[in-house]
Amino acid sequence: MSDYLKPLLISLLLWTVLKAAAVAAPADAERGRYLLQMGGCSSCHTRDGGEALAGGRSMETPFGTFITPNITPHPETGIGEWSDKDFIRAMTEGRAPDGSHYYPAFPYVSYRAMSRQDLLDLKAYLDSVEPVDAPSTEHELAFPFNIRALLGPWKWLNLNPPPDLDVRTEKSEAWMRGRYIVRGPGHCGECHTPRNLLGGLEQEAHLAGNPEGPEGESVPPITPEDPGFSRWSEADIVFALQTGMKPDGDFLGGSMGHVIENSTGKLTESDLKAIAAYLRDPEEPL
């Protein structure tokens, strides 16, 4: 090869390698473990006293009872045979590998805003946990909610394009991070945002509270428009998400107790500050 071509070829090679690296950093299971906590997956996929992520937890809803599936890497009863693509499709489109639709009781309406890298890291962590042989159980849903095919029209009516959380604004880095956590993996709106008659999230009332939350609880608003919540300082929010204790000394319970135990209580202080920065500074509905 001529000396003239060599540098050209080398830079071409380097460019290809660097480009590939920028597109897909190797999946990082340790980061994935943190994302699993941020996503609160254990609140639903680990039964009380059951093995981690092996499912079997019952979720009572107005539509019937959902029984969460096993998401350990067991090849037959878990998701051990799933490709990265299968996993990303489940989390962002609410579809199973066979193409059937998932119920939005699995909060993919929020998770679909997660970045591809975060999803790959989360999958790498799930691949690394102990496989548990525990067959998933059928949900106990009333007619017509037991017809999965009806979820096609439901999605058409209720799934707007996912919010683009990368959109730059004049806000701080912390606020951007907070928005990503709250709207994406943290899925706070799944309980704190009211739902329409079809069970879709009313995005115009983002985080404005939901009188009919999970298990019939009333879920309070967490926006500065609420006279009570507007008095919470950043430090109050961080402390409550870490420990469950409110500024008035009462403790948060019900399903928020699970969120604190499995999710926000395990997040870094800087991520909790980011959540607080976002909650204290509302945005227009996306």
Q: Which residues bind ligand HEC (CB under 6 A)?
A: 39-41, 43-45, 59, 66, 68-69, 71, 79, 90, 96, 102-103, 105-107, 111, 122, 136, 182, 186-188, 190-192, 213-214, 217, 219-220, 222, 228-229, 237, 240-241, 246, 252-256, 259, 264, 275
Minimum Å distance from CB 41 to ligand HEC?
A: 3
| Beta-bridge partners for 59 | 66
Nearer to ligand HEC, 7 or 49 (CB): 49
Q: Which two tokens stand for residue 282?
A: 């509302």
Q: Which two tokens stand for residue 144?
A: 């017509």
Nearer to ligand HEC, 171 or 254 (CB): 254
Minimum Å distance from CB 168 to ligand HEC?
A: 23
Nearer to ligand HEC, 61 or 171 (CB): 61
What count of Cα atoms within 13 Å lies in the side-chain half-sphere of residue 140? 7
Query: For residues 205 and 264, is the Cβ–Cβ distance under 8 A?
Result: no
Minimum Å distance from CB 216 to ligand HEC?
A: 10
Minimum Å distance from CB 249 to ligand HEC?
A: 12
Nearer to ligand HEC, 16 or 230 (CB): 230
Minimum Å distance from CB 231 to ligand HEC?
A: 9
Minimum Å distance from CB 170 to ligand HEC?
A: 23
Nearer to ligand HEC, 176 or 240 (CB): 240
Minimum Å distance from CB 66 to ligand HEC?
A: 4
Minimum Å distance from CB 200 to ligand HEC?
A: 16
Nearer to ligand HEC, 79 or 201 (CB): 79
Q: Which two tokens stand for residue 123?
A: 């999958």
DSSP string of 112-142, one letter each residue: TTS-HHHHHHHHHHHHHSPP--------EE-
Query: For residues 127 and 108, is the Cβ–Cβ distance under 8 A?
Result: no
Output the CA angle 142-135-83, nearest 5 degrees.
100
Q: Where are the alpha helices (DSSP H) in the chain?
A: 5-23, 29-38, 41-45, 84-93, 108-111, 116-128, 151-158, 173-183, 189-192, 234-243, 254-262, 269-279
Query: For residues 192 and 210, is the Cβ–Cβ distance under 8 A?
Result: yes
Q: How far apart are CA 78 and CA 136, in angstroms?
A: 8
Nearer to ligand HEC, 11 or 196 (CB): 196
Q: How far apart are CA 220 and CA 252, in angstroms?
A: 11
Nearer to ligand HEC, 39 or 194 (CB): 39
